Amino acid sequence: MEVTLLMDETELQSSRYVCILTDNELYNLAIIHTGQFCGKSLVLSILNARMVVMSQEDIEDTEYWAGKLGIADEDVKEIQSFFYTILGNQASVGASY
């Protein structure tokens, strides 16, 4: 079986790992700011091994990201506020080829 490689790029990325404790849950998230995905960031839940691709515009759409990341209903507003502080505000990441 032959594999066709469609893309193979290397870039410097900005990664942030956060542990958030609310009154209800503990959330471990990785936020990877990359030049891929039209300026959106990868947000990964380390606890449930799921991810979403998000930008500032996606934060309001809690139905898009909260369930996928395993965010409890009572914690959505707190996590949403956190996302407003980090998504779209990352430092410029230069590509390395």
Residue 92 is predicted with a pLDDT of 38
- β-pairing verdict for 41-45 and 14-21: unpaired
Sign of the CA dihedral 60, 65, 72, 26? negative
Token readout for 92 is: 């410029």
pLDDT of the chain, 97 residues: tens digit per residue: 899 988 888 888 789 999 999 999 999 999 998 888 888 999 999 999 999 999 999 999 999 999 999 999 999 999 999 999 988 654 434 433 3
Residue 58 is predicted with a pLDDT of 94
pTM of the model: 0.79
